[in-house]
Amino acid sequence: MEFAGQLRQWRTRRRVSQLELALRAGTTQRHVSFLERGRSAPGRAMVVRLAESLEIPLRERNALLLSAGYAPAYAQTALDDPELAPVIGALQRVMAAHMPYPAVVIDRHSDLVAANDAFFRLVADVDPSLLQPPVNVARVVLHPRGLASRIANLDEWAWHVLDNLGRQARRDPDDQLESLIAELEGYVPERPRSSGPDHLGFSVPLRLRSDLGELRLLTTLTYFGTAVDVTVAELKMEAFLPADAATAAALNELAGR
């Protein structure tokens, strides 16, 4: 797609008016209108400012630059490249410090990049085929031969996961992510219709059955908000936290086994 069409599509997707985008990018509404109609050609700096103003992911910013006739501005370093060793090392140290609670690092498709020992203990009894690389964490959680059979609130939790993935796909369209969502929807129960979910006001807990009783886990997500490398920008760390004292004690016991 040409630059004009991509810019108009991203602005519409972000629900931003031409005037608001112009104010954010330090230009005029007339200039934005001309760019969207292909009547003006943007400078490289303007493409970058527009992309930043629309919070377009780095991968798609490169595509926008290419459509305007400019070279990509953001590197895309392989995960095993030595240049990323400090980043991966820092994430591994954070996950190690999070023990005895599970934590994973995933990419934009929910594929596993790294995990701590507590996560592997949590999924030790899932079908081994689900743990063959590339491991998709969303699939491990929601697949019938994954954790799904142990999730007490599967209908609620599954749609919590799927809704988050759906929002991501709508905000930053991706064919592979759409395919994953379609696959996962085939595994889970119908969306619950009750209007009063049984969860804490600020978060949906994962209620996981175990030989130590029911574990109640909350999750937090951490992103690299200032990354200038495509690969790093697409990484996120998901950390599980105990929602009650009994779960904290059970996770400590699991870690000591």
pLDDT tens across 108-147, in order? 999 999 999 999 999 999 999 999 999 999 999 999 999 9
- The reply to whether 100 and 126 lie within a common domain is yes
- The reply to whether 167 and 215 lie within a common domain is yes
Q: How many other C-beta atoms can be found within 10 angstroms of the C-beta atom of residue 43? A: 11
- The reply to whether 125 and 237 lie within a common domain is yes
Range of the domain at 7: 3-67
Global pTM value = 0.88
Contact 159, 188 (CB under 8 A): yes
Contact 181, 170 (CB under 8 A): no
147 within a domain of the structure (yes/no): yes
Contact 237, 103 (CB under 8 A): yes
- The reply to whether 38 and 126 lie within a common domain is no
At 225, is the pLDDT very low, low, confident or very high (cuts 50, 70, 90)?
Answer: confident
Nearest to 242 by CA among 214, 222, 211: 214
Of the listed ranges 55-69, 186-200, 224-238, the least confidently predicted one is: 186-200
CA pair distance 83, 78, nearest whole angstrom: 9
